[in-house]
Structure 1
Amino acid sequence: MWNNTLNIKVLAAIFISGLFNAQLFRTKDRQDRLEGFDNQKFSYGFYLAANNFDYRLVLHPMFGMDGQRNLVQTKSSYSFGAGLIGKMRLDDNFDLRLEPGLQFMSREIIFNTQSNDQYAGGTAANAPFTPRALTEADKLRTVKSTYVDVPLLLEVHGDRWYNSRPYAAAGVNWMMNLQSNSKSADDNANGIFRTTTSNFAWTAEIGIQFYFSRFKLTPGFRGTFMINDEMVADNAETPPYWTSAISTAKTRAFMFVLKFE
């Protein structure tokens, strides 16, 4: 009796184990979706992006700092972007991608630099100036930017497991700011924070590619970091309340991208 019960339990366990294995783990007999998609020399698509843009500021030790206190601060903003994807297959594990797009954002810079009145008599870094009482409008600069973002990325990906595969990418960007005001004769004395038009950055990205019956969906996280200083200095006669307080201002952005190919 005991032996019969034990045999039944063993057989049942073997049967259930085999059924479980057949249903969940035997992916080798399943047909993958878009099996030949990644073998194409060229492929195309588009992407949508949710962005967080900010400035990384390096402050001037005299005009931008009061002891250990920063006199200039930034406020990041959330925005969106969209673009196109062009991919060239290099081999089984490497692709070259060109992903031109538009990124829209508005950032704030707050100048608490009234204490720079102490340098009104002039220093080696600035000529004498007449102090002015900074209003709330003088202290806040809203910097609107529209970047034509053109990243060239080298992508490396792992082997495909059924209908997904991980990837990482890195490369360089050319970013043209369509709202730079770099050639404006007016500056912060007139309420205009000027930035450069043509810029360069580097980008790194990671994510997972998912294959569906009609398209490939890729969610990923991207970081973009400006290489050059984007700030255009105020005119020589402008008091050191604004750009004189900043040594460099470089964009840094973090994006969640959704790619459709």
Structure 2
Amino acid sequence: MWKFLFRTNIIVAFCLATLLDAQLFRTRDRMDNLEGFDNQKFSYGFYLAANNFDYKLVLDPKFGMDGQKSLVQTKSSYSFGAGLIGKMRLNDHFDLRIEPALQFMQREILFDTQSNDQYAAETPANEPFTPRVLTDADKVRNVKSTYVDVPLLIEVHGDRWYNSRAYAAAGVNWMVNLQSNSKSADDNMNGIFRTTSSNFAWTAEIGMQFYFSRFKLTPGFRGTFMINDEMVADNAGTPPYWSAAIATAKTRAFMFVLKFE
């Protein structure tokens, strides 16, 4: 479903640009659209996003690796989001943007950590534990997340070329995970992979702005990368099949955004 939504957004952007090419770039009897739009101190809009979310995992060398083999894998997923745009003009080439959004996704983490049975005896690195046979349900964690994503971005852009303008933006995000389970007393022993609720990330974005007679359309590509470790460790006494195998887990996301102002 997410692949379909992602492809649909790309097709919609392509069709809009193609169908209205004459309006945007004709040179004979050409009139610039929305000539005074970018001179406003404040402007507003909304956007839609097709996303690909994944975890960047750094594995524990003892519990997460078996020689050169990685015992934990993650699968990315396609998802969607929607948000609002608030923009403040700084000067002819710089704007300040805040774009709060909701991002929905579900990711999968696979644990092939049965070989950690070898550490059942007490060592300086771990307490003793009773080995258990991992079932298929034990080996898979479906991690659902709903992020309230609040990026604060500085945008730099060139001069308009006919009815278009290239831009780039970068900034920081505050991301609140509404499905983090961070305060749950249960952990992976009970099938719950816990993550932090409040997080920080950095974002970079590039794209093109197209000016039509009634609105500005902006297709762009964005990358968002978490700064902090999101994983909440399992409770003391839980065998090292799950969180103990992961040193850090940080979200990384790639988005196709379609903005309307």
TM-score, structure 1 normalization: 0.89
Unaligned runs of 5+ in 2: 1-24
2:233 is equivalent to residue 233 of structure 1? yes
Q: 2:66 aligns to what?
A: 66
Q: Which amino acid letter does the alignment assign opposite residue 37 of structure 2?
A: F
2:128 is equivalent to residue 112 of structure 1? no
Q: By how many angstroms is 1:28 displaced?
A: 8.6
Q: 1:54 aligns to what?
A: 54
Q: By how many angstroms is 1:31 displaced?
A: 1.6
Q: 1:146 aligns to what?
A: 146
1:155-188 CA-partner distances (Å, limit 9, x unpaired): 0001101100000000000000000000000000
- The CA distance in 1 between the partners of 2:28 and 2:200, in whole Å, is 45
Higher CA-based Rg: 1
Say which SS state the counterpart of residue 193 (structure 1) adopts. coil
Aligned length: 237
1:206-245 aligned at under 5 Å gives the runs: 206-245=206-245
Q: By how many angstroms is 1:27 displaced?
A: 3.5
Change in CA separation of 1:28 and 1:92 when aligned onto 2, cut-off 3 Å: farther
- The CA distance in 2 between the partners of 1:123 and 1:57, in whole Å, is 25
2:132 is equivalent to residue 132 of structure 1? yes
- The CA distance in 2 between the partners of 1:227 and 1:173, in whole Å, is 10
Q: 2:43 aligns to what?
A: 43
Q: Which amino acid letter does the alignment assign opposite residue 54 of structure 1?
A: D
Q: 1:253 aligns to what?
A: 253
Q: By how many angstroms is 1:29 displaced?
A: 5.9
Which consecutive segments of 4 or more residues in structure 1 shift more than 6 A? none
Change in CA separation of 1:26 and 1:111 when aligned onto 2, cut-off 3 Å: closer
- The CA distance in 2 between the partners of 1:63 and 1:114, in whole Å, is 10
Q: 1:168 aligns to what?
A: 168
- The CA distance in 2 between the partners of 1:217 and 1:125, in whole Å, is 56
Q: 2:22 aligns to what?
A: none
Q: 1:188 aligns to what?
A: 188
Q: 2:6 aligns to what?
A: none
Q: Which amino acid letter does the alignment assign opposite residue 40 of structure 1?
A: Q
1:83-121 CA-partner distances (Å, limit 9, x unpaired): 000000000000000000000000000000000000000
1:15-40 CA-partner distances (Å, limit 9, x unpaired): xxxxxxxxxx9849622000000000
TM-score, structure 2 normalization: 0.89
1:233-255 CA-partner distances (Å, limit 9, x unpaired): 00011000000000000000000
Worse-matched range after superposition: 28-37 or 176-185 = 28-37
Calculate the aligned-residue CA RMSD, in Å: 1.1
Unaligned runs of 5+ in 1: 1-24
